[in-house]
Amino acid sequence: MIQAFFHHPLHTANGKGYLDLRIEVGKGRLVAITGPSGSGKTTLLRMLAGVLHPRQGKIIHDGQIWLDTAQGIRRRPQDRQAGMVFQDYALFPNMSVHENLCFALSKADSPEIIGELIGMFELKELLGRFPRQLSGGQQQRVALARALVRRPSLLLLDEPLSALDPILRSRLQDYVLEVHRRYGLTTLLVSHDYQEIRKMADWMIRMDNGAIVEEGSPSTLLKLNGDGLSAIFHGLDKEGMALFSRDGKFFTLPASLVEIHRWQVGQEVLIRIEG
């Protein structure tokens, strides 16, 4: 179980603003985070991992305080059990795949986990290669394996699958699901792909302008893909995203996904996405 709240300056699509949110994720859940670029998704993950220090905030993870700005408590990223996979993978260019994995091992850890991860992610053939010799999908597998070496209890995935082609993407989704279940992880996954969210997540959060604008089970929120979701259409925002509101909460969708040419501003519409 992770509970957190944050208050931190954020450069949003509408200029300077604040990331202001409260989040609670039960142990063992896989939560998808979605929202337009600049809405604060990466910022949120970076603050949970501890590589970004919020101006105000608090994180309690399984009863341990990772952060409490009011009390001046701040656990370093090194001391949080959080694994993070960055959007660009952040593999170390000077190290081979095997060295990248072993780097994450601390002196006290048993090296068995390396062998286990190599097997699980089918990395045996790649061990001697350097990151620049790997395809995007291979880099992603290495990055995911590396993030698991320390046996984290919280896994943070910053849109790691976005750059991959659909077939590879589907296979890597299976990898993520397998490690999520096998190691009993709590996982936060940034994703824009509704199919991916439906397949993987049991909870979904939609962010915009540094705030959570909507959350719920993907099946409810993603009725979009099925029966459709009724909402009020507000036209296009500055980024060219279609803006809607539902029960007083605003959310946006890529305009290309929906049939905006048929709607008028202020009208209640049925949003449905063919996916």
Partner 1 sequence: MDGTFWETMGLTLLLAATTTALLLLIGVPLAYFLAFTRWRVKPVLETLVSMPLVLPPTVIGFYMLLAFSQESPIGAFLLAYFDIRLVFTFGGLVLGSILYSLPFMVQPLQSGFEHLPPNLAEASYTLGKSRWETLLRVLLPNIKPALLSGLVLSFAHTVGEFGVVLMIGGNIPGVTRVASIAIYDEVEALRYDNAREYAIALVGFSFLILLLVYVQNRRQHQRFGV
Q: What residue ranges bind partner 1 (CB under 8 A)?
A: 46, 49-51, 76-78, 80, 82-84, 86, 88, 90, 92-94, 103-104, 106, 130, 132, 146-147, 149-150
Phi, psi of 211 (to 5 degrees): -135, 160
Distance CA 81, CA 72 (A): 20
Toward partner 1, which CB reaches closer, 188 or 271? 188
Q: For residue 160, which of 242, 259, 41, 67 has the smallest C-alpha distance?
A: 41
CB of 104 to partner 1, least distance (A): 4
Toward partner 1, which CB reaches closer, 132 or 262? 132
Toward partner 1, which CB reaches closer, 75 or 198? 75
CB of 262 to partner 1, least distance (A): 42
CA-angle at 175, arms to 186 and 143, nearest 5°: 80
Toward partner 1, which CB reaches closer, 101 or 242? 101
Which residues face 7 on adjacent strands? 20, 56
Toward partner 1, which CB reaches closer, 132 or 261? 132
CB of 132 to partner 1, least distance (A): 5
Q: What's the full length of the chain, in residues?
A: 275
Distance CA 121, CA 92 (A): 18
Distance CA 215, CA 195 (A): 17
CB of 148 to partner 1, least distance (A): 11
Distance CA 5, CA 139 (A): 32
CB of 78 to partner 1, least distance (A): 5
Q: State the greatest distance between any 2 C-alpha atoms of the chain, in Å, as a whole number.
A: 63
